């Protein structure tokens, strides 16, 4: 007998090795193309069904990818319409069903390989591989459902709907309110009042900030508070400040005036801000500052440059001392420190505080990229539903998502209506409205100039000033990036 003949394993061993290899290959085939193992060696009907389902999913994904690049507006619009809590929950359970079915196909692929013909070790190796893959698919699909459930919960809790979806003179005007509803206060005090006026086409944004201590804010004539305060919100005690309108509208005497209104405090504040700035508001969003800390932590904190150290605490507190957020470049702040940075009052003015709050807004806008949101989605969703409320309708999510990268691309400008620009105790509302109109006109002119420069190979020459030319109004806007250098 030759050496070659002696080296050949017996038929039973060869059969066990072939079965093991076939089992591993079939399980891996199922992982790559669900149903391929069944189509090759098992139930062909089951294999055809699985492959058709898999092919349909791939085709939908390919169509969505093509639409995203060819007609991004359409895909984002469809996404907005699909952002319904019930639809999202249904999709989540479909993901689970697909994951369970895929896992079953992996186990069935191992069965098709006939593990009885394998050695004990071969059965263990191939069986463990099939079980790990099956459990991994089921576990992944369940976690996918959890993300969908978090999305549905976030949308149903945060987005109340009812805002004005049509642009106003080509712009979205969004009222951003920072509220404090802590147990130590009676009702909600709105401590941060800003309107973001966004060009719906280019995304160029101007922030108009009003001080919380603004007095005599006018109400529109259709406001239930107009008859009570026809000359603006003012009282002899000088406690009738802009940030107190929310509480004024929700107290027992006035709440009944807002019949059928879910959020009278926001509606009253929105009306006063519209009359003050001369802008109609599309949407409002209110952030509970007590929950803001959790939201910042959920996104991993923010990084910004701090030119002046900021105290944390109050000189009138129990300890009478406090820590400091030190000045420096690329300072990383967690939620606790970011909240103190935005709200600290000691050794500074309300107006300086307003600037810091804009710095935090700017940092979040610059640093909240899609990767950050996706990797921390569940934490953001859990924090967000306890922090933010808005009247943005769900079918407008796509439009806002389309606008977001444009907003990030163009540096924001900011106008703060603080001394010496205005006197909060006796503001010139005509002047405020004129400044708002001038800044919006300047922003639109900048967009037109940018569009012409893009269309033309050569920039247009600067016009020669003439004696009859109308001088441009002096801009009161500042670039946020120059105020808050964000890394």
For the stretch 318-344, pLDDT in tens is: 555 568 888 888 899 998 998 888 888
57 belongs to a structural domain: yes
Say if residue 274's pLDDT is above 90: yes
Domain assignment of residue 466, yes or no: no
Quick check: 185 pLDDT over 60? no
Strand ranges in 200-258 using DSSP code E only, listed in sequence order:
205-210
- In terms of C-beta distances under 8 Å and separation of at least 24 residues, what long-range contacts does 180-185 make, across chains too? 180/288, 180/289, 180/290, 181/288, 181/290, 182/290
Q: Is 462 part of a structural domain of the chain?
A: no
Domain assignment present for residue 307? The answer is yes
Same domain membership, residue 190 and residue 138: no
3-state secondary structure 90-107: HHHHHHHHHHHHHHHHHH
pLDDT band at 373; cut points 50, 70, 90: low
pLDDT of residue 467 exceeding 50, the answer is no
Q: Model confidence at 33, in pLDDT bands (50, 70, 90)?
A: very high
Q: CA–CA separation, 486 vs 233, rounded Å?
A: 37
| Mean per-residue pLDDT, 144-167 | 85
Cα angle 227, 232, 234 (rounded to 5 degrees) comes to 105
Tell me which range, 12-16, 61-65, 269-273, is most confidently predicted by mean pLDDT: 269-273
Beta carbons of 147 and 140 less than 8 angstroms apart: no
413 within some domain: yes
Please indicate, yes or no, whether residues 215 and 295 belong to a single structural domain of this protein. Answer: yes
Q: Which of 381, 382, 379, 389 is nearest to 159 (CA)?
A: 389
Of 8-12, 170-174, 465-469, the one with minimum mean pLDDT is 465-469
Q: Please check whether residues 192 and 99 belong to one and the same domain.
A: no
Q: What pLDDT, on the 0 to 100 scale, is given for residue 202?
A: 94
Which pLDDT does position 287 carry in this prediction? 82
User: When comparing pLDDT for 78 and 119, which is higher?
Assistant: 119
Q: How confident is the model at residue 417 (pLDDT cuts 50, 70, 90)?
A: very high
For 219, 251, 422, 425, the CA distances from 214, given in Å and listed in that order, are 13, 20, 10, 6
Same domain? 319 vs 192: yes
Q: Are residues 153 and 175 in the same domain?
A: no
**Residues 277, 240 share a domain:** yes
Say yes or no to pLDDT of 477 above 70. Answer: no
Mean pLDDT for 205-225 is 93
| Model pLDDT, residue 298 | 83
Q: Are residues 252 and 198 in the same domain?
A: yes
Question: What is the per-residue pLDDT for 146?
Answer: 87
Residue 459, pLDDT score? 53
Q: Per-residue pLDDT averaged across 143-162, rounded? A: 83
Residue 201 domain-assigned?
yes
DSSP 251: S
Place of tokens 């106003």: 168
At 225 the pLDDT is 94
Q: What is the CATH number of the domain that holds 335?
A: 3.40.630.190
Choosing from 158, 192, 224, the residue where a domain stops is 158
Least confidently predicted of 133-147, 200-214, 403-417: 403-417
Contact criterion met (CB below 8 Å) for 283 and 392: yes
Taking residues 283-307, report their average pLDDT. Answer: 84
Q: Is the pLDDT of residue 469 over 60?
A: no
The structure's pTM equals 0.74
Domain shared by 251 and 153, yes or no: no
Per-residue pLDDT at 315: 64
> Left, alpha or beta for 347 (phi > 0: left; psi -120 to 50: alpha)?
left
| Average pLDDT of the residues in 38-60 | 91
Is 464 domain-assigned?
Answer: no
pLDDT of residue 465: 47
pLDDT value at 468 more than 50 = no
Domain co-membership, 133 together with 221: no
d(CA 36, CA 422): 73
Segment 301-320 mean pLDDT: 76
Share of the chain above pLDDT 70, in %: 82
Judgement on whether residues 382 and 284 belong to the same structural domain of the protein = yes
Higher local confidence (pLDDT), 151 or 59: 59
Does residue 273 share a domain with residue 422? yes
Q: Whole domain around residue 141: which residue ranges?
A: 9-158
Residues 224 and 106 grouped into a single domain: no
pLDDT tens for each residue of 60-109: 989 888 877 777 667 766 776 777 788 888 999 999 999 999 999 999 99
- The number of folded domains in the chain is 2
Residue 299 lies in a domain: yes
Nearest partner of 84 among 13, 155, 3, judged by Cα:
155
């Amino acid at each position: 007998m030759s050496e070659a003949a002696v080296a050949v394993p017996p038929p039973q061993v060869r059969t066990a090795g072939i079965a093991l290899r076939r089992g591993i290959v079939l399980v891996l085939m199922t992982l790559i193309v669900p149903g391929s193992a069944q189509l090759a060696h098992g139930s062909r009907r089951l294999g055809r069904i699985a492959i058709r389902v898999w092919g349909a999913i791939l085709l939908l994904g390919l169509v969505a990818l093509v639409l995203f690049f060819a007609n991004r507006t359409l895909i984002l619009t469809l996404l907005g319409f699909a952002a319904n809590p019930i639809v999202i929950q249904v999709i989540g359970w479909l993901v689970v069903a697909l994951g369970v079915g895929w896992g079953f196909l992996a186990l069935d692929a191992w069965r098709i390989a006939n593990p009885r013909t394998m050695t004990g070790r071969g059965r263990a190796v191939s069986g463990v591989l099939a079980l790990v893959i099956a459990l991994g698919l089921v576990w992944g699909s369940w976690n996918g459902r959890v993300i969908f459930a978090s999305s549905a919960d976030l949308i149903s809790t945060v987005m109340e709907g009812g805002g004005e979806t049509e642009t106003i003179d080509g712009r979205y005007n969004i009222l951003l309110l920072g509220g404090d509803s802590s147990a130590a206060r009676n009702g909600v005090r709105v401590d941060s009042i800003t309107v973001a006026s966004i060009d719906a086409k280019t995304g160029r944004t101007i922030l108009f900030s009003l001080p919380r201590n603004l007095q005599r804010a006018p109400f529109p004539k259709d406001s239930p508070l107009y008859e009570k305060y026809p000359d603006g919100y003012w009282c002899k005690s000088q406690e009738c400040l802009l940030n107190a309108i929310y509480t004024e509208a929700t107290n027992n005497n006035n709440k009944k005036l807002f019949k059928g209104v879910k959020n009278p405090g926001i509606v009253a504040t929105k009306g006063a801000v519209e009359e003050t700035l001369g802008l109609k508001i599309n949407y409002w969003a209110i952030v509970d500052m007590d929950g803001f800390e959790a939201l910042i932590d959920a996104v991993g904190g923010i990084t910004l440059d701090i030119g002046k150290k900021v105290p944390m605490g109050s000189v009138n507190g129990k300890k009478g001392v406090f820590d400091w957020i030190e000045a420096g470049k690329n300072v990383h702040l967690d939620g606790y420190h970011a909240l103190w940075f935005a709200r600290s009052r000691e050794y500074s003015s309300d107006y300086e505080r307003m600037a810091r709050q804009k710095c935090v807004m700017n940092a979040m806008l610059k640093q909240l990229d899609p990767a950050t949101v996706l990797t921390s989605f569940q934490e953001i969703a859990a924090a967000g539903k306890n922090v933010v409320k808005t009247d943005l309708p769900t079918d407008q999510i796509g439009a806002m998502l389309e606008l977001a990268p444009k907003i990030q691309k163009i540096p924001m400008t900011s106008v703060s209506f603080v001394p010496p620009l205005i006197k909060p105790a006796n503001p010139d509302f005509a002047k405020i409205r004129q400044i708002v109109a001038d800044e919006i006109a300047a922003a639109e002119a900048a967009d037109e100039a940018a569009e012409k420069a893009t269309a033309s190979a050569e920039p247009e020459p600067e016009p020669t000033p003439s004696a009859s030319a109308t001088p441009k109004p002096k801009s009161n806007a500042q670039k946020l990036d120059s105020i808050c250098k964000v890394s």
